[in-house]
Amino acid sequence: MSSGRVLKSEWTKIRSVSSTVWTLSLAAVVTIGLGLLISILAKNDFDKMDARDKLAFDPTAISFAGMGLGQLAMIVFGVLVVSNEYSTGMIRTSLAAVPQRGKFLFSKIAVATVLALVVAMATSFISFFVGQSAMGDHKAALGDPGVLRAVIGGGVYMTLIAVFSMGVAAMLRSPMLSLGILMPFFFLISSILGNVSATKKIGRFLPDQAGSKIMEVVSPVNDDTPYGPWGGLAIMLAWVAVAVLGGFVLLKRRDA
């Protein structure tokens, strides 16, 4: 089967599964809604902050506060895109139609990545403009130094979360097992490692903590992170590459 037909087939699969569409919609709604709420709270609390906190006030990053929860839906989307065929048994039919397993997997990931990127980028820009509209006099402008990079980075970050999840799902094949590992990894283990002094230096190199640096315009006070926004994004890209490569290697080596 030609690459064009494989891509078209994967697009049809994703579009026809309502759960994948709903998870992307949920990611957008949660991210924008929660970001707006926290932006309103941040504006109301600004005058109560001490001088140190005002120096670290980052209205751009605050408008992305909802991404922490919105990425949950992106994780589910990434897992479902890859593992749905395993849970339904359709993977055997798909591999019979496309015996080149690399073409099959990378076509699936490519189509899902483009879809996730479109939704994530729109979500990031809307979150920024909605959040800044609630900031009043404390808002940032898209033309301010570092702001456009952070807004585009927000869309890239959400997309990479989905792609990382696709790679993990390709390795594990089971949607329940994939979610059972990814959810604690991002929402429990990462938080613990990043907030405990003994493990803080390790937590900085996890994909979500490193990748989220791309959304910062103002660095936190006394921030001693050994990399900047682009370095953090590079670390996240490395995690994603390893996950996708792992999924490809295991798909090649084992039976459907």
For every residue of 86-123, DSSP letters joined together read HHHTTHHHHHHH---HHHHHHHHHHHHHHHHHHHHHHH
Looking at residue 6, what is its pLDDT? 81
Q: Where are the alpha helices (DSSP H) in 134-228?
A: 147-172, 175-184, 190-195, 200-203, 207-211
Contacts of 216 (CB under 8 A, 6+ apart): 58, 60, 61, 150, 229
Rounded to an integer, what is the distance from CA 199 to the centroid of its chain? 23
CA dihedral for 66, 67, 68, 70, sign (positive or negative):
positive
The span from the CA of 107 to the CA of 111, in Å, is 6
pTM of whole model > 0.85? yes
Asked if residue 126 lies in contact with residue 133, where contact means CB atoms within 8 angstroms, the answer is no
Looking at residue 79, what is its pLDDT? 94
Looking at residue 195, what is its pLDDT? 77
CB atoms within 10 A of CB 150: 26
* Lookup result for tokens 């359709």: 90
pLDDT per residue rounded down to tens, the chain (256 residues): 667 788 887 788 887 777 788 899 999 999 999 999 999 998 888 777 777 777 778 899 999 999 989 999 999 999 999 888 777 767 777 777 777 887 888 899 999 999 999 999 999 999 999 999 998 888 889 999 999 999 999 999 999 999 999 999 999 988 899 999 999 999 888 888 877 777 888 889 999 999 999 999 988 777 778 899 999 999 999 999 999 999 999 988 876 5
Phi, psi of 138 (to 5 degrees): -100, 10
Phi, psi of 219 (to 5 degrees): -75, 140
